[in-house]
Amino acid sequence: MESDPMTAPKIVPTVVCNRRGTPRLCGIEVPADLQALVVERTTCPNDNPECACKPVVSVVGGVDEAGMERALSDFGGCVEVAYGQLLSGEHLLSTLERHGLYMALSTATAYSLAPAHMFCNVLAERHHLSPELRDAIELAVHEAVVNGLLHGNLEIGSGDRQSLEGLRRFGETISTQLRDPSLASRRIEVTAVVSEREVELAVIDSGPGYEAESLAADDRPDRKSGRGLELIRHFAQAVEVGEGGRKLRMRFAR
């Protein structure tokens, strides 16, 4: 039985040349049910207007974890199409211009997969990171993604998770929020740029944000929020909160 073409997994490499100031797709066919992702280059390496530039981003829909990791590995960028939206964010071009890695997923997809694991697999393979550094980065990125999904995109407070009943209620709240398309469709971005001396990563959510200063001022041992950030600071050499609490940037020495 053949799969429905509207629901079958798709990976679409997409790039645009800016030849003579007119952006154009470089001979890449995009299925009608997926919107093309436009990545504009300032120069075109070929004189032929039908040039086939190397793809720099993949647009994915309905792929599993292995497919998404493959798309990220092959093209450097992986952007999901979900809920009728193309989920690329404003950090896409700046990351690719620095030869970095970029991934943008919906909240529902990111929550159901292991984005930190597959992202760090590709990052470590591309830049030959040591196992110790790779594992430290994955732990920090995982914590940042979970915080961004739960407290940012799904707008769930820390609450009481010290008891079984508290954990049960917390799980029910997550399930309830994920059933809301306006929340489940929110984008979360993960970026990485590597230099000779350091690895710089960022996780950007689409939630309402928070006041980083007030969180840093709360040093009570029994506090219910901020522990994830504390764990991240244990692994990273530097951590910065920006964009109104929606962006967490982490730096790791190589």
With contact defined as beta carbons under 8 Å apart, do 28 and 12 qualify? Answer: yes
* Residue environment code for 218-241, b if the CB has 16+ CB neighbours within 10 A, otherwise e: eeeeeeeebebbebbeebbeebeb
- Local structure of 238: helix, strand or coil: strand
The H-or-E segment that residue 227 falls in is helix 227-235
pLDDT at 247 exceeding the cut of 80: yes
Least confident piece of the model among 12-26, 81-95, 162-176: 12-26
Helices (H), 87-130: 92-97, 107-112, 115-127
pLDDT, one tens digit per residue, over 219-231 is 544 444 457 788 9
Residues 6+ apart with CB under 8 A from 8: 62
Cβ neighbours around 244 below 10 Å, total? 12
Computed over every residue of the chain, the mean pLDDT equals: 78
DSSP letters along 164-222, please?
Answer: HHHHHHHHHHHHHHHT-HHHHT-EEEEEEEE-SSEEEEEEE--S----HHHHHH---TT
- At residue 107, the pLDDT reads 97
- For residues 224 and 158, is the Cβ–Cβ distance under 8 A? yes
Phi, psi of 88 (to 5 degrees): -70, 145
Fold of the domain built from segment(s) 129-254: Heat Shock Protein 90 (3.30.565)
Give residue for tokens 């645009």. Answer: 16
Q: Which of 23, 14, 22, 113 is nearest to 62 (CA)?
A: 113
Residue 158 has a pLDDT of 77
Q: Tokens at residue 243, please?
A: 């964009």
Burial readout 150-162 (b: 16 or more C-beta within 10 A, e: otherwise): bbbbbebeeeeee
Decide: helix, strand or coil at residue 50.
Answer: coil
Show the beta-strand stretches assigned E in 44-172.
Answer: 57-61, 77-82, 85-86, 101-106
Query: What's the pLDDT band for 12 if we cut at 50, 70, 90?
Result: low
Mean pLDDT computed over 112-134: 96
Cα 244 from chain centroid (whole Å): 18
Structure pTM? Answer: 0.79
